[in-house]
Amino acid sequence: MNDSEQAEQIATVGEVGIVESQDFVSSKPFVFESGGTIPELTLRYETYGHLNTRKDNAVLICHALTGNHHAAGVYGMEERKQGWWNFMVGPGKPIDTSKYFVICSNVLGGCSGSTGPESINPITGKRYNLDFPKLTVGDMVEAQALLLDQMGIDRLHCVIGGSMGGMQTLQWAIAHPDRVGSYIALACCARHQAQTIAFNDTGRQAIISDPSWLQGHYPDGKQPAQGLSVARMMAHITYLSETGMEAKFGRKRRDTVAREPFENYDVEFEVESYLRHQGQAFVSRFDANTYLCLTKALDRFDLYGTLGTLDEALHHVNSPGLVVGFTSDWLYPPQGNRDIVEALLRLGKDASYVELEMDAGHDSFLLCSPRLEALIRSYLER
Amino acid sequence: MNDSEQAEQIATVGEVGIVESQDFVSSKPFVFESGGTIPELTLRYETYGHLNTRKDNAVLICHALTGNHHAAGVYGMEERKQGWWNFMVGPGKPIDTSKYFVICSNVLGGCSGSTGPESINPITGKRYNLDFPKLTVGDMVEAQALLLDQMGIDRLHCVIGGSMGGMQTLQWAIAHPDRVGSYIALACCARHQAQTIAFNDTGRQAIISDPSWLQGHYPDGKQPAQGLSVARMMAHITYLSETGMEAKFGRKRRDTVAREPFENYDVEFEVESYLRHQGQAFVSRFDANTYLCLTKALDRFDLYGTLGTLDEALHHVNSPGLVVGFTSDWLYPPQGNRDIVEALLRLGKDASYVELEMDAGHDSFLLCSPRLEALIRSYLER
């Protein structure tokens, strides 16, 4: 892109604006990797931009653990809250909706409209809860493939995602090599290490040991809020970095504390206030059984498999891929990202690795960064 | 020490054997830094070795957050569980009880026999619970000073401790420079950063949001076990290192899982089993209100003070000190330990820093290590 083209592009950067989510319903039984089945399946999704007549300009965005299908735009003129990757998706933006038809679906097993533990099992008329079949990242991808089938999209221009979205992205490249034009996996890993499983299980224990959990049978609107909130607080720490937290909060105390004596474990430090708010806000938008289900799917994801090497899984890949690690990410550290690309290169694949120095920890991929934006823009235009 | 001396020493290494804890009772009111008071104070403690006639061979060991006064020996011939620093303390061991009179007391605010939130307030006849005054590391040290007064010990040969014990050690050198011959602080810091406060507050929220907490008024034997267990699981992860956990557990699955299908969030991975056990075992030996109280004391500890520099606090120090950091400690990382020694040296103090490469994370100071043992032995003999 020359300077005048770039100038023109910047001039035309815009917003996707008001969007609506849609539901894809497959009325056939869906069979999970584990062998479990559900009689029908819904995926809630959004699209931005237009599918061209050759149907070869589709970009699939895969969301992270607690993300959803609302990647860009707003639901109404009055709404200020934009989709979670709004800075990345839109006309003239890195994932340019004037060129690409962008799709983002809430994953199978999610709780934002797609079929998951919170959904009603049409056979019993009750929520699936713990009867929802054991879920894998592979199942999430197969459900998305059904959505693409219905749209008549044989091959994606690109699949892209961070964190759990990065795992889905890798899974797409592995399971459907002929349907993937290229892929970009951000802040991901090929499998969880013991520490990550340990954090996830502690979060699950917080939920399960909340008396309101009731073995997963909590009534509507009465989920185990305390446990889910604690799980979120802890997980949220792992999404940030020590440096980032220190810069943002340090040991700053709440104003109220300066005025009145601290009592009975109320908020004293700013970081406590921030985290407690994150915990409480999460409860209002996420379902506890879904959190259990999805974190388990992540813990079980293992591209190393029984042979203990990435070669078996990655030898199926036949599209070019970009993996991006972030220096301050200690949940899915750079090394785990580098290892994937090293294995791809060893296998003779077209693969690249970039490591971005950002202080925002694992969540770096969710934050505006000219370097990340430029990378994604260029890789999509390859 | 020459070879024959070393050989002799090894030949005489022994155990402190059966020990008994004792109670020091001060019947005067104790005034906390915060201004709060308690009418009387008990410190439970143990001693190993013999106080010499000059009373100048005393070594004070300060324990960590969930440690106690039982640093060495056993309580009976049948007992297999030794004190938490048994490998370090005994005849011929690095803290050599044939030379030194070793003292370890459960901290003020603790729940192993010293006065703390779990103790009965003699004025009300009920447990202090949240009425226990706001505690600081300084208060812990002043209570220990009363114990030494009663023993007639004017000056310690050395103060030593790791983690919260390291903070007490620093506080001793600062608050009582004339009573400290030397000090050794392991895996410590001059103040918590935002991330550490965040982890602690998440643990506190796990306890506080447990319905059994009852605003701190839980009946005897009915403490908020689930919340305390989750708090411990999370904290325990921060005491280890990713490398250490990976080496020990990796993605090993429980044998039972290989035989029967995994169901309903039972233990699947070994690391889950280990952590859940740690959580449950903790509940049987520690009190939830005490955990709240002590973690708050740690979060408030701040040698940087209002000026934001260590100089004001450390300029009082006048004894030689050794600070030891551990490479894999991400709770109290090496940098925080180095910063203390840099400030001491800048102030012209006699101070040394050693960084030991160990994989056990923050808990490294609790593990046998010839290098650590040699360091402590030599520094005590200076």
* Mean pLDDT, rounded, for B84-94: 98
Catalytic residue among B192, B359, B362, B369: B362
**Any A CB within 8 A of B199 CB:** yes
Selecting from A194, A209, A240 the residue whose C-beta is nearest the C-beta of B250 gives A194
Q: How far apart are CA A336 and CA A323, in angstroms?
A: 10
Is residue A142 located within the same domain as residue A216?
no
Residue A93 C-alpha from the chain's centroid: 20
pLDDT at A265: 86
Q: How far apart are CA A197 and CA A194, in angstroms?
A: 5
- Which B positions 283-302 lie with beta carbon below 8 A of chain A? 292, 296, 299, 302
Is residue B183 located within the same domain as residue B224?
no
pLDDT in tens, B315-350: 999 999 999 999 999 999 999 999 999 999 999 999
Is residue B87 located within the same domain as residue B24?
yes
Residues in chain B: 382
Catalytic residue among A63, A362, A363, A369: A362
Residues in chain A: 382
Q: What SS3 string covers chain A? A: CCHHHHHHHHHCCCCCCECCCEEEEECCCEECCCCCEECCEEEEEEEECCCCCCCCCEEEEECCCCCCCCCCCECCCCCCCCCCCCCCEECCCCEECCCCEEEEECCCCCCCCCCCCCCEECCCCEECHHHCCCCCHHHHHHHHHHHHHHHCCCCECEEEEECHHHHHHHHHHHHCHHHECCEEEECCCCECCHHHHHHHHHHHHHHHCCHHHHHHCCCCCCCCHHHHHHHHHHHHHHHCCHHHHHHHCCCCECHHHHHCCCCCCCCCEHHHHHHHHHHHHHHCCCCHHHHHHHHHHHHHCECCCCCCCCHHHHCCCCCCEEEEEECCCCCCCHHHHHHHHHHHHHCCCCEEEEEECCCCHHHHHHCCCHHHHHHHHHHHHC
Q: How far apart are CA A51 and CA A227, in angstroms?
A: 43
B376: domain CATH number?
A: 3.40.50.1820
Is residue B168 located within the same domain as residue B221?
no
- Domains held by chain B: number: 2
* Confidence category of residue B259, pLDDT binned at 50, 70, 90: very low
Smallest Cα distance from B191 to chain A, Å = 9
Catalytic residue among A139, A210, A287, A329: A329
* In chain B, % of residues over pLDDT 90: 91
**Any A CB within 8 A of B355 CB:** no
* Region of A361 on the Ramachandran plot (φ > 0 left; ψ -120 to 50 alpha; else beta): left
* For A297, nearest residue in chain B (alpha carbons): B265
Considering only CA atoms, which of B381, B369, B365, B367 is closest in space to residue B165?
A: B365
Contact A193 B246 (CB under 8 A): yes
Mean pLDDT in each 10-residue stretch from start to end of chain A (382 residues)?
A: 54 86 98 97 98 98 98 91 96 98 98 98 96 97 98 98 98 98 98 98 97 96 97 98 97 70 78 97 98 97 92 96 98 98 98 97 97 98 92
Which of B276, B293, B310 terminates a domain? The answer is B293
pLDDT at B5 over 90: no
Is residue A249 located within the same domain as residue A177?
no
Considering only CA atoms, which of A265, A247, A269 is closest in space to residue A257?
A: A269
Which of B241, B261, B293 terminates a domain? The answer is B293
* Confidence category of residue B9, pLDDT binned at 50, 70, 90: low
Dig out the tokens for B115 from the structure.
């006065």
pLDDT at B379: 98
Is residue A205 located within the same domain as residue A306?
no
Is residue A213 located within the same domain as residue A263?
yes
pLDDT in tens, B297-307: 999 999 998 88
Contact B206 A206 (CB under 8 A): yes
Q: Which residues of A touch B248 (CB under 8 A)?
A: 194
Helix/strand/coil percent split, chain B, to 5: 40, 15, 45
* For B216, nearest residue in chain A (alpha carbons): A264
**Any A CB within 8 A of B234 CB:** yes
Contact B215 A292 (CB under 8 A): no
Q: How far apart are CA A226 and CA A223, in angstroms?
A: 9
The residue ranking higher by pLDDT, B374 or A260, is: B374
Q: Which residues of B touch A292 (CB under 8 A)?
A: 265
Is residue A224 located within the same domain as residue A80?
no
Contact A233 B296 (CB under 8 A): no
Please say if B284 is a catalytic residue: no
Is residue A9 located within the same domain as residue A136?
yes
Is residue B165 located within the same domain as residue B272?
no
Please say if A255 is a catalytic residue: no
Is residue B218 located within the same domain as residue B156?
no
Average pLDDT, chain B: 94
Dig out the tokens for A351 from the structure.
């693969």
Selecting from B245, B262, B302 the residue whose C-beta is nearest the C-beta of A194 gives B245
Q: Following CA atoms A126, A127, A133, A138 in sequence, which dihedral angle do they give, to the nearest 10 degrees?
A: 140
Contact B193 A245 (CB under 8 A): yes
Stretch among A173-182, B11-20, B95-104 having the lowest mean pLDDT: B11-20
Q: Which residues of B touch A209 (CB under 8 A)?
A: 226-227, 229-230
Q: Which residues of B touch A262 (CB under 8 A)?
A: 134
pLDDT at B312: 94
Is residue A153 located within the same domain as residue A243?
no
Supply the range of the domain harboring residue A281: 197-293
pLDDT at A82: 95
Residue A208 C-alpha from the chain's centroid: 23
**Any B CB within 8 A of A309 CB:** no
Q: Which residues of A touch B246 (CB under 8 A)?
A: 193-195
Please say if B236 is a catalytic residue: no
* For B246, nearest residue in chain A (alpha carbons): A194
Are the C-beta atoms of B25 and B115 separated by less than 8 Å?
Answer: no
B265: domain CATH number?
A: 1.10.1740.110
Q: How far apart are CA B69 and CA B40, in angstroms?
A: 19
Which of B231, B263, B293 terminates a domain? The answer is B293
DSSP conformational letter for B116: S
Are the C-beta atoms of B117 and B130 separated by less than 8 Å?
Answer: yes
- Which B positions 330-349 lie with beta carbon below 8 A of chain A? 330, 333
